[in-house]
Amino acid sequence: PTKWTLWRNLEEAGRQEFELSGYYEIRTPVFEDTRLFIRSIGEATDIVEKEMYTFSDSEDSSITLRPENTAPVMRAYLEYELYKTKKFQKFYYIGPQFRKERPQAGRLRQFHQMGIEAVGATDPLLDVETISVATRIFDRIGLKGYKIKINSIGCEQCRPVFRTILKEKLCDHKNGLCELCQSRLNRNVFRILDCKNEGCKSISHHMPSINDYLCESCQSHAKAVREALLEIGIPYIADAHLVRGLDYYTKTVYEITHSSLGARDAICAGGRYDNLISDIGGPSIGSVGFAIGMEATILALENVMAKHKTFSQEVCGPSPSIYVISISEETKKHGFCLLNLLRKANLSADFDYEGRSLKAQMRTANKLGVKYVVVVGPDELARGDVKIKVMETGEEVVLKQNEVPRWFLNKDASMKS
C-alpha cells in the first residue's frame, strides 16, 4: 500500500505543479506510426535500433508502442495545426511508455513518465522554468538529495564541427572503447560520452568539451540559462559530457539524478529541441521539455525514506481525520451509519471492519495519526449519543449522534476531504 500511496502522491504533485505553471494535459495514443520515431529520435539511436516494440497491423502498416512521449505530443501539435490558433502552448502528460530494455530496479519494459512540453518559444528562461517545475515536484513529495546536471550540446551550426573533432580524437582510442561504442563512432558519436563502461568513461574524460566549440548564439543561451538558475536559487552541476540519447535535442540538455540509484541514476531528463517539429514535417518552432521517470523516482524516494526513517503520514499520504470505533456487534451498525453521515458531510473518516477489541482499534487510530476518535459503545447507544476523543489533548466530548457532523465541521475546516 505504501508504494501505491507514493505513486499517487507523485502523480498528484505533478498535476498540481504542471497546472500551477500553466500547462494543460494532453493524451496521445499508445501506438504511433513507426516513422514518427525514426524521424524524431534518430535512426541510429539505441532506442530505434534496439528498444522499440514495432509491429505490422492488418493493413501492413508499421506501428510502434511509444518509447517516449515528446514526439507524439509534437505530432499532435502539428497534425491538428494548433500553432495556427496559438503558437505558444504548454502541455503535460502522464502515462506509460515501452522499451525493450533489460528489466531491473526502477527500469521496466513498460514504464511510466510524467512530463511537459513548452512549444513555441526559444527564450532561455523557458528552459529554466521546466527545470524549476521538475524540482518543485521532487520537493513536494519530500525527495531529498537530487542533483541537477546541465550542458549545452550546441545547434546545427556548431555541433557538426565538434562532432568531426570528437570523432577524430576518439578514433585514436578506438581499441580502448567497448564494442558498442566502437559501433557508435560512425553512427552516434556523442553517445560515447555518456557510456557507463569504465574504459569508455576514462577515454571520454580526456576528450575536448563541446563548450569550447559553441557558436555565439549557443554560448549566449547557455549563459542565460545558468545565470537564471542561480538567480532563482537552483544549484546545478555543469557537466560537459552530458548528452541525451535522442537526436532531436539542441542547446540545453539536463538530467536530474539521485545517487541512491547507482549507475543509472537519472530520475528526470530534458532539454530543448528547436528543430523537432520541422524534422517531422512542420514549421520551425522552438520547444523545450522534460520527462520524469516515475518508477525511478519512487525507488529513489523509498531509498531516502528507508535511510532517514521518514515513513511518516506526511510522506506516505493522507490518513483519515476521524476513526469510528464500535465496541460490539450491537453498536457496529450504528457506528457504520455514523461513518456514512461523516462522509456525506465531506469529512475524512474510517472504520474498523475486523471486529477487534477497543484496545486494538485505538492502536490502529494512533498508527493512522487521526485527530479524533468517535466511540459508539453500549452505554452511548443506550443514551443515543457518542463520545468524541481529541487524540492530541485527550479531551472528551459527548454529543447526540446527529450533532456529530456539524460539530466537526465547526471544529476544524481542514478535516474536509
235-265, pLDDT tens digit by residue?
999 998 898 766 788 999 999 999 999 988 9
Query: What's the pLDDT score for residue 311?
Result: 54
- Cα separation, 317 vs 50, in Å, equals 39
pLDDT at residue number 106: 64
The per-residue b/e assignment along 316-341, b for 16 or more CB within 10 angstroms, e otherwise, is: bbebbbbbbbbbeeebbebbeebbeb
Q: Is the pLDDT of residue 408 over 60?
A: yes
Q: Is the predicted pLDDT of residue 97 greater than 90, yes or no?
A: yes
Q: What is the DSSP letter of 45?
A: S
**Domain ranges, ordered by start, for the chain:** 2-158+214-308, 318-415
Residues 6+ apart with CB under 8 A from 277: 74, 77, 78, 119, 283, 284, 285, 287
Asked whether the predicted pLDDT for residue 318 surpasses 80, the reply is no
The reported pLDDT for the residue numbered 186 is 84
Chain-centroid distance of CA 19 in Å reads 14
- CATH code of domain 2-158+214-308: 3.30.930.10
Tens of pLDDT along 41-84? 877 677 887 889 999 988 889 999 999 999 999 999 999 999 88
Cβ-based burial of 375 (10 A; exposed 0-12, middle 13-18, buried ≥19): buried
- Cα 242 versus chain centre, distance: 20
Q: List the grid coordinates of 254.
A: 539536463
Check whether 315 has a pLDDT greater than 50. no
Q: What is the pLDDT of residue 149?
A: 98
pLDDT at 112 over 80: yes
pLDDT at 313: 44
CATH number for the region 318-415 comes to 3.40.50.800
Question: pLDDT digits over 162-208, tens only?
Answer: 999 999 999 999 999 999 899 889 888 888 988 888 999 899 988 99
Residue 329's pLDDT is: 87
Q: Is the pLDDT score of 312 beyond 50?
A: no
Residue 107 is classified by DSSP as B
Q: Taking 70 as the threshold, does the pLDDT of residue 1 lie above it?
A: no
The more confidently predicted of residues 146 and 309 is 146
Mean pLDDT score of the chain? 90
Q: Taking CA 345 as the corner, what is the angle to CA 359 and CA 360, rounded to the nearest 5 degrees?
A: 10
Instruction: Report whether pLDDT(109) > 60.
Output: yes
* Percentage of residues in the chain having pLDDT higher than 90: 70
pTM of the model: 0.81
When mean pLDDT is compared across 161-165, 185-189, 271-275, 289-293, the lowest value belongs to 185-189
> What's residue 294's pLDDT?
97
Instruction: Render pLDDT for 129-162 as a digit per residue (tens, 0 to 9).
Output: 999 999 999 999 999 999 999 999 999 999 999 9
pLDDT of res. 246: 66
Q: Which of 7-11, 46-50, 142-146, 371-375 has the lowest mean pLDDT?
A: 46-50
